[in-house]
Structure 1
Amino acid sequence: MRIISHNIVVALVILLLNGCFYTSGDLQNWELENQGTSAFALSRDARFALIYSKEHHLVLWDLYENKMLAELGEQDPQANAVSRIRISDNGRFAVTASQINFAVWDLAWTQAEGLWSISDGLIRDVDISSNGEQVLLGLSNGKAIYVNLVTGRRLEFLAHREKVNTVALSSNGRFALSGGNDYKAYLWDTTTGLVLRTFEHEQRVNRVALHRDGLYAFTSDGGNQAVIWDLKSGEEMTSLKSWSRQLIFSTARFSDDGSLLLTGTPSSRIMVWDTSTGKRLHGFEAKPLKDTRPPRAVVYDAAIDNQNRLITGTSAGIAQAWDIED
C-alpha cells in the first residue's frame, strides 16, 4: 500500500512539474492557414507575420489589422518548400530559405530582391540584417556563411567541425552567433571572421539568439543546458531553471530591453524567462492543428506586440496572443 501511495505521489509531482504550469487560454488568435505551415516568422513588434504553406506558398499578414497584405507566391521556379523565414529587425525585409536556396524580400513593396543558390551544403538556418543587405547561413557541411548581397562579399566561417544548426546575425550585420553539432557556439566578427567568444556545451547546440543591442547571447543544446551570456565579459549570466531533462527550443528571442527571453518548443510549449535569474515567469500551450495526432504544434517564433502581449506563431498556421502582465 505504501509503494502504491508513493508511486501516486511521484506521478502527481511529475505531472505538476511538466504539465500543469502551462495554460492554453490565449487572449486572441488568428487562424492564418488551416492546412498548417512549414515556416512562420513574426516581425519584432509582432505586427507582421510571414508564413509558408504548400497550398498558398508565401503569404504576408498584418496581425494588428487582422488582414492578409499580400500573396508573395513561390520562392523559386521549382517551388521548393520553404523551411526557414526571418524578418529583419526593422520589419522591412525578410529572408526565406529552402534547403538549397534563399530569397530576400522587400516587404514594403512585397517583392523579391533576388534568389541565391547554395551548392556545397544544405541550409539549416538563416538570418538577415536590418537593412536587408546582409545574410547569414548555417549549413550542413559545418560552414556558417556571411554574404553581403550588395558588394558580393562572401565570408566562410570554418571554426565548426560539424553541422551548423542555428545562427543569429546582429541587426547591423557586424556580429554573428552560430551553434553546431560540435557542442560549441561561437560569437564572431563578420568583417574579419575572427572568433570573439566561444561558448562550450555538453551536447549539440540547437538554438542561439542575440539581444538586439548586443548585451546578451543565448545558447542551448539538446539536453537541458540553456545559458544566457553577458557579451561584454563573455561570462555566463544565468542558466534557465527547469526540472525537465530536455530543454529543446525551436525558437528564442530576447525582449527589446533584454529583461525577458521568449522561447518555444517543437511540442507546443511557450515559455517566458527572467534573463537575470533564469526563472520561468509564464508557460503556455499552443493550439494544435485540428485533428492532428499527436496534438502538437512546432512553435516557430515569438515576439511582444505594442500591447505588451506575447504573440506566437506555430506550424498549425495559427498566431496567438498571450497575457504576460504580472
Structure 2
Amino acid sequence: MRPFSLYIVIFFVSLLLNGCFLSSKPAKKWLIEPNGATAFGLSRDARFALTFSEENQLVLWDLKENKLLAHLGSLDKQKSTVSLIKISDNDRYAITASQTNFAVWDLAWSQSKGLWSIADGIIRDIDISNDGEQVLLGLSNRKAIYLDLVTGRRLEFLAHREKVNSVALSPNGRFALTGGNDYNAYLWNTKTGQIIRKFSHEQRIVKVALQRDGKFAFTSDGGNSGTIWDLKTGHEISHLHSFVRQLIFSAARFSDDGSRLATGTPSSKLIIWNSLSGDKLASFEVQPKKDTRPPRAVVYDAAFDGKSRVISASSSGIAEAWNLKGE
C-alpha cells in the first residue's frame, strides 16, 4: 500500500505543478455571439474582438469597454461564411477569409479596404502586416502566397510539397513562417523568397506562430510534438511537455516578451506554457458551444491582456478571461 500511496502523492503534486488546480471558472466572460461563431479573432492586447456568425456577419467588439463597436457586414456579396480572422499586431487592421475570398479591414474606421479572390486553391490560413498592405496566405495547392496589396506584387513560395496548413507573418511583413502536410515549416524572406530556416517534424505541421520581435518561432504537428525555436540560431529552445498521445492546436500566440505561449485546441482546452522550459503553467477549459454533443468548443484564438490574464476566443461565441497562476 505504501508504494501505491506514494504514487498518488506524486500524481497530485505533478498536477499542482502543472497548474491544474487553478480556478476552473473564468474571471470574466463576454457573450458576443449567443449562437456560436465560425471565426473569432483577438487583438494582440486582447482589447478588441472580431467575430463572424451567419446571423450577425462580421462584428467588432471592444472587450475593455464591453461594448459593440461596429457591424462590419458581410465578407462579399454572396455572404460567404468566414472561417479565418486575423488582427494585425498593432490592432489597426484585420484580414478575414472564406475558402476562396479574403478582405482587409481598417478597424479604426470600420471600413473594408478591398476584397480579393483566390482561384487556384482553398485558403487554409491567413495573416496580415501592421500597415495592412501585406498579407500572407496558406493554400491547399501547396503554395504560400505573399501579396503586397498596394503595389500588386505577388510572391509564390513553392518549397512545400503538400498543402500549407498554417502561416505567420512578422509585423513588418518582411518574414514569413509556413508549415504544411510535408512535415516541414520554413522561415523565409518575403522580399526574395529565400529560405532562412527549415524546421522538420515527424508528422504534418498543423500550427505555427512567430514571436512579435522575431526571437522565437513555434511549430506543432498532428501528434503531440510542439517545439519552440530560437530564430537567431535555428536551434530548439524547448519541447512542450505533454503526456497526451495527440495534442493538436487550433491557436497559438506568444506573450509580448516571448516567455510564455498560449495554445488552444479544437476540444475546448486553453493551455499556457513556459517557452524556455516547455513546462505547462496552466490549463483551462473554455465554455462549450451551445447544444453541441459532445459538449466542446474550438479555441480560435488566445491573447495576453497585460493584466495577468489570458483571454480565449472560441466557437461558442464567447470570450473568457483567465487569471494566471502566481501573478
1:288 match: 288
Q: Aligned AA for 1:282?
A: A
1:208 match: 208
How far the C-alpha of 1:291 sits from its partner, in A, is: 2.6
- The alignment covers a number of residue pairs equal to 318
Is 1:148 the counterpart of 2:148? The answer is yes
Q: Give the Cα separation in 1 of the matches to 2:290 and 2:174.
A: 43
How far the C-alpha of 1:19 sits from its partner, in A, is: 11
> Taking structure 1 as reference, are residues 167 and 82 closer, same or farther at Cα in structure 2, changes over 3 Å only?
same
Alignment of 1:231-270 (within 5 A): 231-270=231-270
Corresponding residue SS for 2:233: coil
Unaligned runs of 5+ in 1: none
Q: Aligned AA for 2:218?
A: F
Is 1:66 the counterpart of 2:101? The answer is no
Is 1:120 the counterpart of 2:120? The answer is yes
2:320 match: 320
How far the C-alpha of 1:306 sits from its partner, in A, is: 3.3
Corresponding residue SS for 2:33: coil
How far the C-alpha of 1:287 sits from its partner, in A, is: 0.6
Corresponding residue SS for 1:223: coil
* Contact preservation (8 Å) 1:22, 1:285: no
Q: What CA RMSD, in Å, does the superposition of the two structures yield over aligned residues?
A: 2.0
1:173 match: 173
Q: Aligned AA for 1:54?
A: E
Q: Deviations over 1:162-210 (max 9, x none)?
A: 0000000000000000000000000000000011000000000000000
1:83 match: 83
TM-score relative to the length of structure 1: 0.94
* Contact preservation (8 Å) 1:23, 1:283: no
Q: Give the Cα separation in 2 of the matches to 1:20 and 1:178.
A: 32
Q: Aligned AA for 1:203?
A: Q
* Contact preservation (8 Å) 2:19, 2:281: no
Q: Give the Cα separation in 1 of the matches to 2:42 and 2:191.
A: 28
TM-score relative to the length of structure 2: 0.94
2:222 match: 222
* Contact preservation (8 Å) 2:209, 2:252: yes
How far the C-alpha of 1:293 sits from its partner, in A, is: 1.1
How far the C-alpha of 1:20 sits from its partner, in A, is: 5.9
Q: Aligned AA for 2:132?
A: G
Corresponding residue SS for 2:65: coil
How far the C-alpha of 1:21 sits from its partner, in A, is: 5.6
> Taking structure 1 as reference, are residues 241 and 145 closer, same or farther at Cα in structure 2, changes over 3 Å only?
same
Q: Aligned AA for 2:212?
A: R
Q: Give the Cα separation in 2 of the matches to 1:186 and 1:22.
A: 36
Corresponding residue SS for 2:176: strand
> Taking structure 1 as reference, are residues 21 and 220 closer, same or farther at Cα in structure 2, changes over 3 Å only?
farther
Q: Deviations over 1:282-317 (max 9, x none)?
A: 000001123321110000010011322111100000
Corresponding residue SS for 2:277: coil
2:132 match: 132
* Contact preservation (8 Å) 2:163, 2:181: yes
Q: Give the Cα separation in 2 of the matches to 1:22 and 1:189.
A: 41
1:55 match: 55
Q: Deviations over 1:217-268 (max 9, x none)?
A: 0000000110000000001011000101112000000000110001000000
Q: Aligned AA for 2:307?
A: Q
* Contact preservation (8 Å) 2:224, 2:245: yes
* Contact preservation (8 Å) 1:238, 1:278: yes
The percentage of aligned residue pairs carrying the same residue is 65
Q: Give the Cα separation in 2 of the matches to 1:181 and 1:193.
A: 20
Q: Which runs of 4+ in 1 moved over 2 A?
A: 16-24
Q: Give the Cα separation in 2 of the matches to 1:276 and 1:20.
A: 20
> Taking structure 1 as reference, are residues 121 and 310 closer, same or farther at Cα in structure 2, changes over 3 Å only?
same
Q: Aligned AA for 1:193?
A: G
Unaligned runs of 5+ in 2: none
> Taking structure 1 as reference, are residues 250 and 303 closer, same or farther at Cα in structure 2, changes over 3 Å only?
same
Q: Deviations over 1:100-124 (max 9, x none)?
A: 0100000000010000000000000
Corresponding residue SS for 1:30: strand
2:193 match: 193
* Contact preservation (8 Å) 2:262, 2:302: yes
* Contact preservation (8 Å) 1:157, 1:193: yes
Q: Give the Cα separation in 2 of the matches to 1:195 and 1:43.
A: 29
